[in-house]
Amino acid sequence: MRPNDETIWSMLLASGYLKVETAPANLADPESATYQLALTNREVTQMFRQMFLSWFKNTVNLRYNNFIIALLSGDLDYMNEYMSQIALETFSSFDTGTHPSKTAEPERFYHGFVLGLIVDLTDRYRITANRESGLGRYDVMLEPLNENPDAIILEFKVFQRTKEANLEETVKNALSQIDARGYDTELLARGISKDRIRHYGFAFEGHRVLIG
C-alpha cells in the first residue's frame, strides 16, 4: 500500500464502508482539506470489530485480554510490559516509522493499534477518537455507559529528539496537552466528575514505548 497510505481511506469511502461525517467549510484547497469519517452502519462496525478481534485471537489473545484489564484497573506496569513486548515482537519499522520528525504516520499506527485493543469494550464504553473537546482534538476517549467505571482519555506522541530528552518527557508532554487543551470538557459537560477521569500518555520511538 505504500508509498501512499491515504489510498486506503479513499477505497473504503468509495466502497461504502466509510461515510463523510463532517467536511471543512472552506474547500479552497481540496487536497489539504481534512474530513472526519465514520463507519456507515452497525453491520460494518461489527465486521471491523470481528476483524480486529481475529487478529489478536491468532497472536496475543491472553495478553490482549490482560491489557484491557490493566487499562481499566490503572495497572501501568502491565500496560508498559504488554506494549513494549508487542512492539518488539510484532511492529516493524515500516509501521512505527524510522524518522522521529515524521510523526503523523507512526502516531496513526499506534492510535489504530490501541483502538483495536479496546474495541471489545464497546458494550461498556462509548469510544470516540479525534473529536473536538475543549481547545483541541483528543486522540481517544472512553466514556462509561453507566456511572460506575472511570472515563479514560488517551494521548499519543512520538518522541522528538530535538525537543525532548527522553520518552519520560514525551509522556509528560502528552499529559500536559490533555490538561492544557481541556480535553476533559466534553466529559465534564456530561456530568462525569474530574476525579473519575483518568489520563494516559503514550510515548513511542520506533519499537520503544512508554505509557504514563
- Please report the pLDDT score of residue 92 as a whole number: 54
Please give the average per-residue pLDDT across 63-67, as a whole number.
Answer: 70
pLDDT confidence of residue 39: 78
Cβ atoms 158, 164 nearer than 8 A: no
Specify whether 63 is located in the same domain as 98: yes
Where are the strands (E) in 23-131, listed by range? 36-39, 125-129
Residues 92 and 33 in one domain: no
What is the spatial distance between Cα 13 and Cα 6, in angstroms, rounded to a whole number? Answer: 11
At residue 103, the pLDDT reads 47
More reliable by pLDDT, 7 or 120:
120
Which of 12-16, 58-62, 141-145 reaches the highest mean pLDDT? Answer: 141-145
Q: Answer whether residue 180 shows pLDDT above 90.
A: yes
Are 55 and 134 contained in the same domain? yes
Predicted local distance difference test score (pLDDT) of residue 31 = 61
Q: 59 or 108: which carries more pLDDT confidence?
A: 108
pLDDT given at position 110: 75
| 127 & 80 share domain | yes
Altogether, the residues listed in the chain come to a count of 212
For the chain, the domain total comes to 2
DSSP state of 120: G
| Residue-averaged pLDDT of the chain | 78
- The confidence score (pLDDT) of residue 105 equals 54
Which pLDDT score is estimated for 29? 63
pLDDT over threshold 60, residue 46: yes
Shared domain for 84 and 143, answered yes or no, is yes
Rounded CA-CA distance 105/79 in Å is: 22
Domain residues for the domain of 8 are 1-40
Residue 101 pLDDT greater than 50, yes or no: no
Distance in angstroms (rounded) separating the CA atoms of residues 79 and 54:
21
Q: Do residues 18 and 96 share a domain? A: no
Average the pLDDT over 165-172 and give the result.
92
What pLDDT band is residue 144 in, cutting at 50, 70 and 90?
very high
Q: Are residues 63 and 159 in the same domain?
A: yes
pTM of the model: 0.67
Q: Which residue has the higher pLDDT, 55 or 104?
A: 55
Tell me what pLDDT residue 43 has.
76
pLDDT cut 90: percent of the chain above it = 26
Query: pLDDT band at residue 179, thresholds of 50, 70 and 90?
Result: very high
Same domain? 75 vs 131: yes
